[in-house]
């Protein structure tokens, strides 16, 4: 860890605190060179997780892509950003704890849809409209009526 003030890597940890959901740790540090104090945040990150796409291709799991899709579903919806961020953290945590490698993109979508349905029904329908597989208007109408 480099000190933001003097850029040396020698520091000591003064305090560590886990988040309520135990997915991150905040550490208060002090540089041993210039005594500058700063905080760092360690966050659970899935490593080497592969996603099997519908067409059979494999690609690395990207929390950034997941976040983009969810943010797009909430476009112009009045939902607290903190609530969205917490939901994304829970989704990533659930994906990691499934211990499936590779995991199918459809399984990820099902997890996302379950969370979206509990937070905002319009975002749920929007996400399903973007990533679902509809062949008829009737299927889409059935989804809306079932929500």
Establish if 141 belongs to a structural domain.
yes
Please count the structural domains in the chain.
2
Report helix, strand or coil for 97.
helix
Residues 135 and 65 in one domain: yes
Is residue 77 domain-resident? Answer: yes
- pLDDT given at position 115: 93
> Would you give per-residue pLDDT tens digits along the chain (147 residues)?
899 999 999 999 999 999 887 778 999 999 999 999 999 998 766 668 899 998 999 999 988 899 999 999 998 888 888 888 889 989 988 998 888 899 999 899 999 999 998 888 889 888 988 887 777 788 778 777 776
Assess if residue 118 is contained within a domain: yes
User: Are 66 and 49 spatial neighbours (Cβ–Cβ below 8 Å)?
Assistant: no
Whether residue 54 is found in the same domain as residue 111: yes
Say if residue 125 is in the same domain as residue 62: yes
Residue 72's pLDDT is: 92
* Residue pointed to by tokens 């994906």: 95
Answer whether residue 1 is part of any domain: no
Looking at the fold, whether 66 and 116 belong to one and the same domain comes out as yes
Same domain, 34 and 54: no
d(CA 138, CA 135): 9
Domain extent, residue 57, equals 50-146
């Amino acid at each position: 860890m480099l000190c933001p003030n003097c850029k040396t890597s020698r520091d000591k940890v003064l305090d560590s605190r886990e988040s309520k959901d135990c997915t991150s740790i905040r550490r208060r540090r002090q540089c041993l060179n210039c005594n500058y104090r700063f905080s760092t945040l360690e966050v659970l990150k899935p490593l080497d997780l592969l996603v099997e796409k519908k067409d059979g291709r494999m690609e690395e799991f990207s929390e950034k892509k997941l976040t983009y899709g969810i943010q797009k579903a909430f476009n112009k919806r009045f939902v607290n950003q903190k609530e969205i961020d917490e939901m994304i953290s829970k989704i990533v945590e659930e994906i990691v704890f499934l211990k499936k490698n590779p995991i199918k993109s459809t399984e990820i979508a099902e997890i996302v849809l379950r969370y979206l349905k509990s937070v905002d029904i319009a975002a749920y329908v929007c996400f399903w409209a973007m990533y679902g597989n509809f062949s008829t208007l009737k299927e889409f109408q059935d989804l809306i009526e079932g929500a």
